[in-house]
Amino acid sequence: MIYQIIFDNNEVFNGGDSLFETKWKEIPEDKKIRTIIYFIPTQAGLILSNFKRIYHYVEAVKDLNGSESGKIKIEFTYLIIQRNNKYIQYRINQKSGDIEVNILEKDSRYITGLNPVFWKNGNEN
Amino acid sequence: MATALLVRTNIVDADVTYITAPADYITMDLTNDYLIWSKLLADLMTHEPTADELNAAAEVIDPSLAVTVTKCLLMDYSHDIGGSYYTHLVKGMGENKKFVYCFSFDGATATEPQLETWDSSAHSTCVKNVLGIGVPANSMIRGVCTTTTLPGTGWAGASLAGASNVLLLNDGLGAILTATDLYANLKIVIPAAFSTPAAETFVICVRYTYV
């Protein structure tokens, strides 16, 4: 399982088993997320709570030529939480398990360029 | 399901979209097909070009003028389009044309897809001559997003190399919201009197995201 979500009402949603099938779209829109436990390659869990919204996505790279041409390579996954007006990005290296934490500006191209439909609601205002 | 990407090249008419004329495009088999930039290599070859043939057909460095490599050909390993041909001229490469290289996504992305160039599939360096010898701004690979507009006559394009000099494929408009074809035009411009002739391979990749 990639992640597990605990809603405000204590119900649990289990994420997909593969980075090619994350089930992020299937998270119910009408429930507020209290906590996400995100499992990283080292088997440790990144636990995030107290956010207004949360976003998860997978970064894929496809080479048009070369020794690994045509393969879909997943190097990083990302979690972004909105807490008040701050956006905190967790960039997770899927090979090493290292996590880089970045603070992003609300008006940055990065945040405004996100597909808005994939945000999920947290339980903070 | 993960969003999937197919890469297509236009071999007939670079004024028409893939949706309008799918037969004008070849969908690349990325495991076996590849692109060749050349001055003289023939369209519609009946065998895979040899190293000697590639060398004999190479672009020539000009002592006083920058040279745009004359043509780009798709090496079609399956050689099953329009006959038994291994090479197909990519139409509109480097010209004021929109629909040359097509990137077809079968669903939404989380962020804007981007095209990158690297020395190898490790995606860690860009020190080859064609990629600017470690200075991305000097890369000979020029790219322009043509998803929404023509690139213009004599378009300069952006120099592409590494993680900093990339080509956003949706004109900087952000993520794509549904299945969409994005377009770009690419060319290679060799500086005047460039001192290091070389036959080089480099890796083009598309970085994209999904939820």
The verdict on a CB contact (< 8 Å) between A62 and B120 is no
**Distances in Å between the alpha carbon of A121 and those of A29, A52, B65, B177, B201?**
7, 6, 58, 20, 46
Nearest CA in chain B to A67: B121
**Is A100 touching B (CB cutoff 8 A)?**
no
The rounded percent of chain A whose pLDDT value lies above 70 is: 99
How many CB atoms sit inside 10 A of residue B20's CB? 10
* pLDDT for the residue A85: 85
Nearest CA in chain A to B111: A114
H or E segment and range at residue B54: helix B51-56
Contact (CB, 8 A) for A52 and A124: yes
Which tens digits make up the pLDDT trace of A2-61? 999 999 999 999 999 999 999 999 999 999 999 999 999 877 889 999 999 999 999 999
The full DSSP string for A19-57 is: TTB--GGGS-TTS-EEEEEEE-TTS-EEEEES-SEEEEE
Q: How far apart are CA B22 and CA A82, in angstroms?
A: 42
Positive or negative torsion for Cα B142, B117, B81, B68: positive
Of B122, B121, B104, which is closest to residue B113 (Cα–Cα)? B104
* pLDDT for the residue A124: 87
* pLDDT for the residue B1: 82
ipTM: 0.93
- The pLDDT profile of chain B, 211 residues, written as one tens digit per residue, is 899 999 999 999 999 999 999 999 999 999 999 999 999 999 999 999 999 999 999 999 999 999 999 999 999 999 999 889 999 999 999 999 999 999 999 999 999 999 999 999 999 999 999 999 999 999 999 999 999 999 999 999 999 999 999 999 999 999 999 999 999 999 999 999 999 988 899 999 999 999 9
The structural domains of chain A, with segments of one domain joined by +, span 3-121
To the nearest whole Å, the CA of A93 is away from the closest chain B CA by 14
* pLDDT for the residue A84: 85
- Phi, psi (deg, nearest 5) at residue A46: -90, 120
The verdict on a CB contact (< 8 Å) between A66 and B203 is yes
Q: Which residues of A touch B29 (CB under 8 A)?
A: 70
Residue A125 pLDDT > 80: no
Judge if pTM exceeds 0.90. yes
* pLDDT for the residue A26: 96
